[in-house]
Chain A
Amino acid sequence: MSLFSNAFPPLIAGAAVIVSGISLQKYWRKHEERFSIIWLLFTVGLFFWFVGESVWMGYTLIWNVEVPYPSVADDFWIAGYIPFFFALYFYVRIFGSALSKKMLAIAMGVAIILALATSFMLINPVIGSEEDMLTLAVDFAYPLLDVALLSISFLGLLIFMNGKLGKSWLLINLGILSNVCGDILFSYTTLQETYYNGHLLELFYHFSYIFFLLASYIHTKEL
């Protein structure tokens, strides 16, 4: 089980990078082109996450570190959020004027509710925790970065949901939502010291890579 839970994520993350890379190859024209930049950023974001997964696998399977957290793997995971966020932002910005004020208000409401819910869920275990400041900061950072991604990707879903690209945006949203669930549970269980390698919550991360992979594939197929 431990072998699977540590070796599978780099494989599925790597597959997501490859499929996103195929999309990049399709859409790449010039470096100043919007779709070129967007797909480059998506692919770079996923690549960082793939490296994060590989480093985690190295720690657990090669160096036998039980729970390497926080570690260098987190540097790559957190770094991956930056290109991923800008890819979503640049894409949504092209079509942003299609959104009504009502839609923007709904998306903002969803983001605020999620951010508050996340904070409330983690605040109690944080208060009772004896973890150092860095670990606590990372515990909070992941779910909040996920919410930032989700607030943008939700706008994309609202824009495209009635079109063929809607399927791709639904999958992106499901991928990020899986990360939200996984990261909240990971932060919660590490704070409670109940997390172990191969915990069931890791399935959320596996699903998120599968959703991102399918999102890239469907986008390339539909456009």
Chain B
Amino acid sequence: MSKKETFKRVLLEAVDEGLLTLGESGREAVYFHLQNLYGVKKDEVPDKIEEFADGLRKIFGLGATVIEKAIIKSLYAKIGMKHEEKKGYSFLAYVKDAENVIQS
């Protein structure tokens, strides 16, 4: 499996775990709405991470940051990176950093 594929798999697992913040029913509901409203299927989340983040914001408003943090924590733990909060860093920037580490 290529590094890119590995990252996608790990990111998908992290998203799955992060969404568990809402419980199983909440997670299912988020996937359902992301697919129906924003055309992002569960398996496509790593490829459409910007649309995913946008969808979360549109559903939860400011509350999306809590889910994003849970996803980033899970992602960094999976790849053995230490998660430190950086001022002004977006969810996508954290994901990009993790991708760079895996691909380096």
CB-based A-B contact count at 8 angstroms: 76
CA distance A29 to B24 in the complex (A): 7
Measured CB to CB, the nearest residue on chain A to B63 is A95
Chain A 189-207 against B: per-residue CB contact (8 Å), 1 yes, 0 no?
Answer: 0000000000000000000
The reply on A135 being an interface residue by CB < 8 A is: no
Tell whether, in the assembled complex, residue B25 and residue A163 are in contact, meaning their CB atoms are under 8 Å apart.
no
Chain A 26-44 against B: per-residue CB contact (8 Å), 1 yes, 0 no?
Answer: 1111100111100000000
CA distance A96 to B30 in the complex (A): 19
B58 to chain A minimum Cβ distance, whole angstroms, is 6
Contacts of A34 in B (CB 8 A): 22-23, 26
Contacts of A97 in B (CB 8 A): 65-66, 69
CA distance A158 to B63 in the complex (A): 9
The reply on B61 being an interface residue by CB < 8 A is: yes
Interface size for chain A: under 10, 10 to 19, 20 to 34, or 35 or more residues?
A: 20 to 34
Chain A residues near B (Cβ < 8 Å): 26-30, 33-36, 94-99, 158-166, 222-223
Query: Can you report 22 A-B residue pairs in the complex whose CB atoms are below 8 A from each other?
Result: A26-B29, A27-B29, A30-B24, A34-B22, A34-B26, A35-B22, A36-B25, A95-B66, A98-B64, A99-B62, A159-B63, A160-B62, A160-B63, A162-B61, A162-B62, A163-B59, A163-B63, A165-B59, A165-B60, A222-B33, A223-B26, A223-B33
Q: Which 4 A-B pairs have the closest CB atoms?
A: A163-B61, A162-B61, A33-B23, A95-B63
The reply on B21 being an interface residue by CB < 8 A is: yes
Contacts of A222 in B (CB 8 A): 33, 59
The reply on B42 being an interface residue by CB < 8 A is: no
Measured CB to CB, the nearest residue on chain B to A161 is B61
Number of B interface residues in the complex (CB < 8 A): 20
CA distance A7 to B59 in the complex (A): 37
Measured CB to CB, the nearest residue on chain B to A99 is B62
Measured CB to CB, the nearest residue on chain B to A219 is B29
A35 to chain B minimum Cβ distance, whole angstroms, is 5
CA distance A99 to B65 in the complex (A): 10
CA distance A96 to B29 in the complex (A): 21
CA distance A96 to B23 in the complex (A): 16
Restricting to B32-71, which residues have a CB under 8 Å from any CB of A? 33, 57-66, 69
Contacts of B59 in A (CB 8 A): 163-165, 222-223
Contacts of B69 in A (CB 8 A): 97
Chain B 61-104 against A: per-residue CB contact (8 Å), 1 yes, 0 no?
Answer: 11111100100000000000000000000000000000000000
Contacts of A161 in B (CB 8 A): 61-62
Tell whether, in the assembled complex, residue B23 and residue A163 are in contact, meaning their CB atoms are under 8 Å apart.
no
B51 to chain A minimum Cβ distance, whole angstroms, is 15
